[in-house]
C-alpha cells in the first residue's frame, strides 16, 4: 500500500451551551485541524489535533501537514508508522523552526492518521492492534459539568445529573478563579451534593503562583479531591516539585507538554503523580506510547488529557497497562463516525476498525473550515 494524497481539514465543533471557560482559556468551538491520508488501496486514514478553533492558527497546522510533511509521505508505505515518524520527526528543515508547537501538532495529526490506516488495513480497532483487552475496565470521568463560567447552582446540578442520570462516578471541577475562597466554596458545594464516594478532580489550568498554589491547593485536601491539575505554570518543573513536597493532594499535569523528554523531566523530578499525556499535543500515538511506558516504569498512573475528545485515547487506554481512567468531554460526539461510548461510567471498547478518528460526511461538509 502506498500513500497517494494528503487532504487537510479543519473541523470547528460548537462547545457546550455556546461557550465554556476555565481560569486561563475561554472558547466557543473546539478545533480539530487534521488530515485524511489517501492510499492506492482505497483505504483512508484520519488524524487530527485539538485546538481552540482559532482559524488563522489552524490554517498554519493544516498548511504544515500538507506542504511541509506531505511531500515526505507521498509514495511511502503507511504501515511503516514508526519509521515514518522518525523520518518526519528528524527532518531538519522542519524541526529547525519548531520542535514543539505547530509543527509538532501537525506531526501528531499525521501519526494518528497513519495508525488509523494501519488498524483499518488489519481490520481491527486500534486497541486490539496494540495488544489490548476488551475485558479491561476504563473508567470515564466527566469534565463537562465543572466549567468555571457555570454559576455555582448550574455546576452542582450538572454534576448531580452526570452522577445520578448518566452513571459517572467521577467529575472534574475547574478552579483558579479570581477568589480562592470562591474556588473552595464551589468544590465544597459539589462534594456535599455528591457525597463521599464520588471522585472529584480539580484543575487550575496553570493559573496560580507557587505561594497561591501552596495556600489554595493545600486546602483542597479537606474535600478529598483526587488531584489538583496544572496548579502552576505548565513548564515549571522545579515549582511543581516543590509543591508536590508541600501539599498532600496529588498533582496531575501533562496536557501542555509537547515532548516525551519534557515528561521525563517532570517524572524524574517527582513533580507529577497523575501523568496526562495527550496524543494530539505530543507527536501522536507514537510519542504518547513513549510517555506511557516511562510513567508505567515509574509506578505512575496515566490519565490522558483528551484533545481528541477521547476518540483515540479510549483505544490507548484499552491497550496500555498504565491507563485505567480517562477524561470525557462530548464536543465531537455528533461529528464522528464512531463516537466514544460510555455505559455506567465506563468506556465501551470500540469494535470498528481504525483509531476512531473518521469524521462523518456531514462534519466534513458542515463544520469544515478548510
Nearer to Mg ion, 120 or 172 (CB): 172
Count Cβ atoms below 10 Å from residue 323 Cβ, excluding itself: 25
Q: What is the DSSP string of 157-226?
A: HHHHHHHHTT--SEEEEE---S-HHHHHHHHHHHHHHH-TTSEEEEE-TT-B-HHHHHHHHHHGGGGT-S
Nearer to Mg ion, 121 or 203 (CB): 203
Nearer to Mg ion, 115 or 227 (CB): 227
The CB-of-228 to Mg ion minimum distance in angstroms stands at 11
Nearer to Mg ion, 116 or 229 (CB): 229
Residue nearest to Mg ion (CB): 203
Nearer to Mg ion, 68 or 143 (CB): 143
The CB-of-277 to Mg ion minimum distance in angstroms stands at 12
The CB-of-369 to Mg ion minimum distance in angstroms stands at 25
The CB-of-125 to Mg ion minimum distance in angstroms stands at 27
Strands (E), the chain: 3-14, 20-21, 26-27, 29-39, 44-48, 139-142, 170-174, 199-203, 227-229, 251-253, 274-275, 325-328, 342-343, 346-347
The CB-of-174 to Mg ion minimum distance in angstroms stands at 8
| Whether residue 2 lies in the annotated active site | no
Q: For binding to Mg ion (CB under 5 A), which residues are involved? A: 203, 229
Which residues are within 8 A (CB) of 50 and not within 5 positions of it... i.e. 6 or more apart?
30, 31, 32, 278, 280, 281, 306, 307, 308, 309
Q: Which of 12, 120, 128, 174 is catalytic?
A: 174
Q: Which of 12, 104, 240, 305 is catalytic?
A: 305
Q: Which of 241, 186, 172 is nearest to 216 (CA)?
A: 186
Q: Strand 199-203 relative to strand 227-229: parallel, antiparallel, unpaired?
A: parallel
Q: Contact at 8 Å (CB) between 331 and 20?
A: no
| Whether residue 174 lies in the annotated active site | yes
Q: Which residues carry out catalysis? A: 174, 305
Amino acid at each position: 500500500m502506498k500513500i497517494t494524497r494528503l487532504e487537510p481539514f479543519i473541523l470547528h465543533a460548537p462547545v457546550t451551551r455556546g461557550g465554556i471557560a476555565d481560569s486561563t482559556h475561554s472558547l466557543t468551538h473546539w478545533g480539530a485541524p487534521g488530515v485524511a491520508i489517501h492510499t492506492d488501496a482505497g483505504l483512508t486514514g484520519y488524524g487530527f489535533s485539538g485546538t481552540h478553533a482559532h482559524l488563522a492558527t489552524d490554517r498554519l497546522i493544516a498548511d504544515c501537514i500538507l506542504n511541509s510533511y506531505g511531500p515526505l509521505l507521498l509514495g511511502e508505505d503507511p504501515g511503516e508508522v514508526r519509521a515514518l515518524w522518525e523520518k518526519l520527526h528528524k527532518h531538519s528543515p522542519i524541526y529547525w523552526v519548531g520542535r514543539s508547537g505547530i509543527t509538532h501538532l501537525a506531526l501528531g495529526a499525521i501519526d494518528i492518521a497513519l495508525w488509523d490506516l494501519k488498524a483499518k488495513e488489519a481490520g481491527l480497532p486500534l486497541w486490539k492492534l496494540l495488544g489490548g483487552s476488551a475485558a479491561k475496565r476504563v473508567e470515564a470521568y466527566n469534565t463537562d459539568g465543572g466549567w468555571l463560567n457555570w454559576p455555582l447552582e448550574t455546576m452542582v446540578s450538572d454534576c448531580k445529573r452526570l452522577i445520578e442520570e448518566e452513571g459517572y462516578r467521577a467529575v472534574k471541577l475547574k478552579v483558579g478563579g479570581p477568589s480562592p475562597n470562591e474556588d473552595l466554596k464551589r468544590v465544597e458545594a459539589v462534594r456535599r451534593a455528591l457525597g463521599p464516594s464520588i471522585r472529584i478532580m480539580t484543575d487550575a489550568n496553570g493559573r496560580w503562583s507557587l505561594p497561591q498554589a501552596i495556600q489554595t491547593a493545600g486546602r483542597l485536601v479537606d474535600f478529598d479531591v483526587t488531584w489538583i491539575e496544572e496548579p502552576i505554570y505548565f513548564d515549571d518543573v522545579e515549582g511543581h516539585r516543590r509543591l508536590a513536597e508541600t501539599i498532600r493532594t496529588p498533582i496531575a499535569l501533562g496536557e501542555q507538554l509537547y515532548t516525551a523528554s519534557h515528561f521525563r523531566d517532570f517524572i524524574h523530578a517527582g513533580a507529577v503523580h497523575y501523568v496526562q499525556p495527550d496524543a494530539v499535543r505530543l507527536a501522536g500515538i507514537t510519542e504518547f506510547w513513549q510517555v506511557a511506558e516511562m510513567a508505567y516504569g515509574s509506578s505512575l498512573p496515566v490519565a490522558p488529557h483528551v484533545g481528541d475528545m477521547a476518540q483515540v485515547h479510549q483505544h490507548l487506554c484499552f491497550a496500555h497497562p498504565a491507563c485505567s481512567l480517562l477524561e470525557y468531554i462530548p464536543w465531537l460526539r455528533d461529528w464522528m463516525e464512531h463516537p466514544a461510548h460510555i455505559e455506567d461510567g465506563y468506556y465501551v471498547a470500540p469494535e470498528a476498525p481504525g483509531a476512531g478518528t473518521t469524521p462523518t460526511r456531514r462534519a466534513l461538509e458542515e463544520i469544515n473550515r478548510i
